[in-house]
């Protein structure tokens, strides 16, 4: 009996080396199954993320389309509201431009410049044209903040006994007759402007730069020309130029259209050989 029991026990024992082999096979098979499981999980996660991103992109696209449609509807409404007054403004602007083209001619524009220059020339006669600064050396470096005080300020007309007042009046009268077709009076306006320039430079400037008694009474006196002189001189220069233009425009305006076109053709023919010679 004992012998039989021992034999059964021996039979039940597994052979040597069989348990380690099975264990190694299990261990070798375990990593492969784990890798497959993880790969499947990663694929599932990637597919889920892709679906989520696709849904988000779709929602964003739909939101952009809806916003664009809303903006388009708003623009259409604003266009309907603004279209009527805008069209009215455009029509009014075109009508104003057409009226200006008919009314504002070169002759009238130059005439307005002459009139303004003559008025400025007359007004400058009552504006101070000179002044004598006192204690100039003491104000060096701070003239921009605290300029030296001035004395002996005189109006521009006092230097030449208000001679340029009648000059301005004559310029306005010559302008009135020149606009009626007497183009020669435009040259008279230029001549009156030259008279005003000569008086400004030959009479007013030397008198304005003379310190006079102030140089004896005050230390560091310096005579300077101020606003009235420069306004007078500028108005006179404008009269010279504008008078010549006025004469030219009135003369061209008074000529017949055929004569004007002939002159234009002659000038173009003269300009063509000159351009060919230059080339």
Same domain flag for 203 and 222: yes
pLDDT attached to residue 101: 65
pTM: 0.57
Last residue of a domain, one of 72, 103, 134: 103
Residue 177 falls within a domain, yes or no?
Answer: yes
| Higher per-residue pLDDT: 59 or 241 | 241
pLDDT attached to residue 229: 93
Residue 260 falls within a domain, yes or no?
Answer: no
Per the structure, the count of domains in the chain is 2
Same domain flag for 97 and 142: no
Residue 268 falls within a domain, yes or no?
Answer: no
Check whether 148 has a pLDDT greater than 60.
yes
Identify the CA nearest to 227 among candidates 162, 136, 154.
154
Same domain flag for 120 and 214: yes
Residue 130 falls within a domain, yes or no?
Answer: yes
Check whether 279 has a pLDDT greater than 50.
no
Same domain flag for 171 and 220: yes
pLDDT attached to residue 217: 61
Enclosing H/E stretch for 158: helix 156-159
Same domain flag for 121 and 243: yes
pLDDT attached to residue 238: 95
CA dist 139 and 53 (Å) reads: 78
Residue 246 falls within a domain, yes or no?
Answer: yes
pLDDT bin (cut points 50, 70, 90) of residue 257 is very low
Count of alpha carbons within 13 Å of 5, Cβ hemisphere only? 2
Same domain flag for 193 and 96: no
| Higher per-residue pLDDT: 90 or 67 | 67
Indicate the SS3 state at residue 155: strand
Identify the CA nearest to 171 among candidates 125, 122, 108, 107.
122
Indicate the SS3 state at residue 81: helix
Residues 6+ apart with CB under 8 A from 122: 164, 165, 168, 169
In this prediction, residues 210-223 reach a mean pLDDT of 67
Same domain flag for 99 and 137: no
pLDDT attached to residue 44: 76
| Higher per-residue pLDDT: 78 or 145 | 78
Residue 150 falls within a domain, yes or no?
Answer: yes
The average confidence (pLDDT) of the chain is 76
| Tens digit of each residue's pLDDT (9 = 90 or more) over 51-61 | 778 777 878 88
Indicate the SS3 state at residue 205: helix
Q: What is the span of the domain harbouring residue 99?
A: 62-103
pLDDT attached to residue 202: 93
Same domain flag for 247 and 136: yes
Same domain flag for 166 and 77: no
Residue corresponding to tokens 């604003």? 78
pLDDT attached to residue 50: 79
Question: Token digits for 13?
Answer: 């024992």
| Tens digit of each residue's pLDDT (9 = 90 or more) over 4-44 | 455 554 555 555 545 555 555 565 555 666 767 777 777 77
Cα dihedral across residues 57, 59, 64, 68: positive or negative: positive
Question: Token digits for 157?
Answer: 């007309």
Same domain flag for 133 and 233: yes
Residue 215: Cβ-neighbour burial (10 angstroms; 0-12, 13-18, 19+) = middle
Same domain flag for 199 and 98: no
Same domain flag for 87 and 117: no
């Amino acid at each position: 009996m004992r012998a039989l029991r021992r034999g059964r026990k021996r039979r039940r024992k597994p052979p040597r080396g069989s348990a380690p082999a099975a264990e190694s096979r299990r261990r070798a098979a375990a990593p492969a199954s784990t890798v497959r499981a993880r790969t499947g999980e990663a694929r599932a996660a990637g597919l889920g993320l892709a679906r989520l991103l696709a849904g988000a992109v779709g929602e964003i696209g739909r939101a952009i389309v809806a916003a664009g449609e809303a903006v388009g509807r708003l623009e259409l409404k604003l266009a309907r509201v603004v279209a009527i007054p805008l069209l009215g403004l455009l029509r009014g602007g075109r009508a104003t431009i057409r009226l200006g083209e008919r009314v504002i001619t070169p002759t009238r524009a130059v005439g307005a410049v002459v009139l303004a220059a003559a008025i400025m020339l007359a007004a400058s006669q009552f504006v101070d044209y000179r002044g004598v600064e006192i204690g100039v050396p003491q104000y060096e470096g701070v003239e921009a903040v605290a300029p030296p005080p001035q004395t002996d300020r005189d109006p521009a007309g006092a230097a030449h006994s208000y001679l340029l007042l009648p000059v301005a009046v004559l310029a306005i009268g010559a302008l009135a007759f020149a606009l009626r077709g007497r183009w020669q009076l435009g040259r008279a306006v230029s001549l009156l402007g030259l008279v005003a320039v000569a008086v400004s430079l030959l009479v007013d400037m030397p008198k304005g730069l003379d310190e006079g008694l102030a140089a004896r009474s005050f230390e560091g006196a310096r005579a300077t020309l101020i606003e009235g002189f420069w306004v007078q001189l500028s108005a006179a220069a404008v009269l010279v130029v504008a008078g010549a233009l006025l004469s030219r425009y009135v003369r061209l305006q008074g000529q017949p259209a055929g004569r004007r076109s002939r002159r234009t053709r002659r000038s173009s023919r003269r300009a063509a050989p000159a351009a060919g010679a230059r080339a």
